[in-house]
Structure 1
Amino acid sequence: MEYFDKRYHQPGTPPGTLKSAAMAGSTSLAIHLFDYSETTFSHIEDANPAQCREYINRDNVTWVHVEGHPTEQSIRELGEIFGLHKLALEDVLNIGQRPKVDEYDDQLFVVVNLPSVTGADFSVQQACFFLGKHYVVSFCSTDFSLFQPVVKRLNEPASRLRKNSADFLLYSLLDIVIDQGFPVLETLGWQLEALEEQILKSVGRDTLERIHTIKRELILLRRMLWPQREVINHLLHGDHGSISEGTMIYLRDCYDHTIQVMDLLETYRDMSGSMLDIYLSSVSNRMNDVMRVLTVIATIFIPLTFIVGVYGMNFDPNAGKWNMPELGWEYGYPLIWLLMISCVGVMVYVFRRKGWF
């Protein structure tokens, strides 16, 4: 994930300017339209803004989902049809917004972050929702398959979604986005567990790089997911006429999920910090083991160096009886070797008894 992923206009640009930034790897734009009541349901897979206009004045609940990164023209047309505020539309185009709730006349504008994981790579997409009296307009660049559970429930005549108003649809979509944090954190948990086992077995430079990578991802995830608790709390306690009492009960459950996500995230942050300490301790212990072995070897050779140094002195034994008489012994050379081997054996025995190696 990028450290700075916000798209913005040049400083001094008038507020509400709809100017789309170039998006690398963005999906093609597609509009999904759903219109339903307790007894009816219709779905247009690839709708256009003109078709959306036909459904706006109905008493049914209408859900318009824009998949991919919208163009300036498409978002301007949708804004005119649904009466979306230009400041909110600007936030839709300029991704990287902090999760928030804004109120514009009879509309609620909600921005949340959608985490996802592909293999070992993590990413966060922005999801925006407009809640009106009978409609929800959502924008998200990720694949629409994420919201298929909601579509499946809409296809069931007896589902709770079909019996409630647009605010319950908004809750259902927010619940999916927030619950996406659990599989992401589950993957992070597996990676932390594998990394912990690797640290305890052996350490290397790649281990340190992986620790820093996970710490960075956790920091970025926290920055992007932490404000979502405030968003749900604002919906629960704000004076919004668009949110019914019946939906408040389910939003409280959604708020609990945000707390669980943050608790797991904070736990994993602490674990990653402790892993760095474990890594540094392992490196220090390994260095101590190496130094201990080298010290033992050097200590063993100290008396041997002393012995050969003494008998390496150039004294003439014929000049006097005290000038190294053992140099003239018949078995002097083997005795010196026996002395040195005995010194080594005694020192190794003593070191092992003391547990030094």
Structure 2
Amino acid sequence: MAKKTRTKKPRQKPKQKPGLSPGTIVYTGEKESQKLYIECFNYSPEHIYEKELKTIEEAFKYKSETTNEVTWININGLNHIDAIEKIGAHYNIHPLILEDIANISQRPKFDEFVHYISVNMKMLYYDANDGLSSEQISFILGHNYVLSFQEAEGDVFDDLRERIRQGKGRIRTLGSDYLLYALIDNVVDHYYVVIEAIGEKIEDLEDDLFNGLAKDHVTTQIQDLKREILRIRRAIFPLRDIINRIEKSEHSLINEKTLPFFQDVYDHTVQINENTEIYREMVWGLMDMYMTSISNKMNEVMKVLTIISTIFIPLTFIAGIYGMNFDKMPELHYKHSYPILLGVMAVMFIIMIIYFKRKKWL
């Protein structure tokens, strides 16, 4: 099998130019051609209204301080800076928060303001090519509404959408803070899917190494696993502190009844962090195991070569003595000297083989 080669990806240059004024919205991703897609869920315990919005201005009417309905507006397409600026102006979102929304390399963070709360985090999933994809997702929690911003279409919220449509559970009976919890919980639950996939990859590779079935490109596989673990760790490690801050927040938008649910998410993040650290150590152990297996194979080869050399040393010694051109060697003139000498060599060979086997060197 041909050895798998790894092509080095060119380092991406940052799109955000240094020296820009704070609050300047610059999209730092690669999906420049992504079309703007806006979906809206407006619901109460009695009814639900779902619609795809054609323009960002259609979302403005859902901001109301008196209605008992909850609105979730999901915006896909961070490359549409004008739309982000418009909705930010209407909902009075700070320019620095809008800047963080468009900056996909932003570290997960949590910010509190008087009238809203901002949460940035990473959404992880495996794509069709079994590659780990990471997408930034941002939430704005306000009075009776939640805004979510994604880089592109496709997310992990399909089950949540069905729960809202069907009215399952408590999603339509509680407020916007519970909706924020449900969105974060869906993202965190999907971390489990990614972690389980990583664990299966590590276990399969570990079995191959233990059974000597590893391929030539095993080092590339180990490096890929290291990178995936690092991306997961970068996404989940700061999230634990974010959930902890939400849980301890005394903001008026966070209802006391919702705090136990955030505590549950916090417990999940702690568990995922622990699993990530365990898998990280296991991946480092895979490299040690691989190097050990290579060393063992080399030792086996050297062992066989050493035994072969040891067997032929006395035989070569005998052949060397009787290969000398001296006239006064009476054994050379005996008519049965040749078969006797071959017999002696054969007996020595057998004795040495028996000795090596008793010593368990063979």
Q: Bin the TM-score by the shorter chain.
A: over 0.9
- 210, 226, 245: which one pairs with 2:221? 210
Question: Contact (CA 8 Å) 1:7, 1:96: kept in 2 or not?
Answer: no
Question: Contact (CA 8 Å) 2:25, 2:98: kept in 1 or not?
Answer: yes
Aligned to 1:352: 357
Structure-2 change in CA distance of 1:300 and 1:158 (3 Å):
closer
Answer with 1 or 2: which has the greater Rg.
1
Structure-2 separation of matches of 1:15 and 1:342: 90
Aligned to 1:319: none
Q: Give yes or no for the alignment of 1:220 onto 2:231.
A: yes
Q: Give yes or no for the alignment of 1:168 onto 2:175.
A: no
Structure-2 separation of matches of 1:61 and 1:263: 35
Q: Which amino acid aligns with 1:190?
A: E
In the TM superposition, what whole-angstrom CA distance separates every residue of 1:19-56 from its partner, at most 9, and x where no partner exists? 33462476422001111222232111234222111221
Q: Give yes or no for the alignment of 1:197 onto 2:204.
A: no
Stretches of structure 2 lacking an aligned partner (at least 5 in a row): 1-8
Aligned to 1:334: 339
In the TM superposition, what whole-angstrom CA distance separates every residue of 1:87-107 from its partner, at most 9, and x where no partner exists? 111111111111110123311
Shift of 1:70: 3.9
- 40, 63, 68: which one pairs with 1:33? 40
Aligned to 1:320: none
Stretches of structure 1 lacking an aligned partner (at least 5 in a row): 317-322
Percent of pairs identical after alignment? 36
Instruction: Name the SS for the 1:163 alignment partner.
Output: coil
Shift of 1:152: 1.5
Q: Which amino acid aligns with 2:251?
A: H
Aligned to 1:325: 330
Q: Could you list the structure 1 runs, at least 4 aligned residues long, displaced by more than 6 angstroms after superposition.
A: 2-6
- 303, 313, 326: which one pairs with 1:302? 313
Count of residues in Structure 1 that have an aligned counterpart in Structure 2: 350
In the TM superposition, what whole-angstrom CA distance separates every residue of 1:76-134 from its partner, at most 9, and x where no partner exists? 11112211111111111111111110123311110011111135311111110001112
Q: Which amino acid aligns with 1:153?
A: R
Question: Contact (CA 8 Å) 1:5, 1:96: kept in 2 or not?
Answer: no
- 114, 125, 140: which one pairs with 2:150? 140
Q: Give yes or no for the alignment of 1:102 onto 2:86.
A: no
Question: Contact (CA 8 Å) 2:108, 2:120: kept in 1 or not?
Answer: yes
Aligned to 2:77: 68
TM-score normalised to structure 1 length: 0.93
Instruction: Name the SS for the 1:45 alignment partner.
Output: strand
Shift of 1:7: 5.5
Structure-2 change in CA distance of 1:233 and 1:116 (3 Å):
same
Q: Which amino acid aligns with 1:243?
A: I
In the TM superposition, what whole-angstrom CA distance separates every residue of 1:200-239 from its partner, at most 9, and x where no partner exists? 1224431122112212221221122111111100101123
Structure-2 change in CA distance of 1:256 and 1:4 (3 Å):
farther
TM-score normalised to structure 2 length: 0.91
